[in-house]
Amino acid sequence: MKRFSEARSQDYRALLKVLRSVINARMGLNTWAAFVGTQEDAGIAGDIAMLENEVTPVPKALRKNGLDVVPIHHHMTEEQPLVIFLHYRGRDPAEKLAIGFTAALGELGKGAPAHTDHAGSH
């Protein structure tokens, strides 16, 4: 999963500039999962960084697999593309949690970014 997160962050770094500064993974632009417990009784919690067109399919994939979507929000204004963050959690056997997280990751990057160029509109 580390490679996926790094690749995703590289995509965003190439696309996203806020206040004329390049945003990178050290600034929290990443996707991750943390597991605790045992194989039979595990917990998962984490974040998913996604684009606007991923806001519907990613939470659907998590919920379909028994994971709870906590908040969905964004940190910056006037960024293009808009990066939205989703926090999730769950408790189940570790394998089931991993399958649910993987299903959500599978929804990332399927479509073109849904954003409008606001340059010069202010």
**pLDDT 10s digits, 46-65:** 999 999 999 999 999 999 99
Taking the whole predicted model, whether its pTM rises above 0.85 is answered as no
How far CA 5 is from CA of 9, 58, 78, 92, in Å, comes to: 6, 15, 24, 24
pLDDT at 80: 79
The answer to whether 59 and 101 are in contact (CB under 8 A) is no
- Average pLDDT over the chain reads 79
Higher-confidence residue: 6 or 24? 24
Query: What mean pLDDT comes out for the span 33-51?
Result: 95
CATH of 31-105 given 3.30.750, 3.40.50, 1.10.3470, 3.30.70? 3.30.70
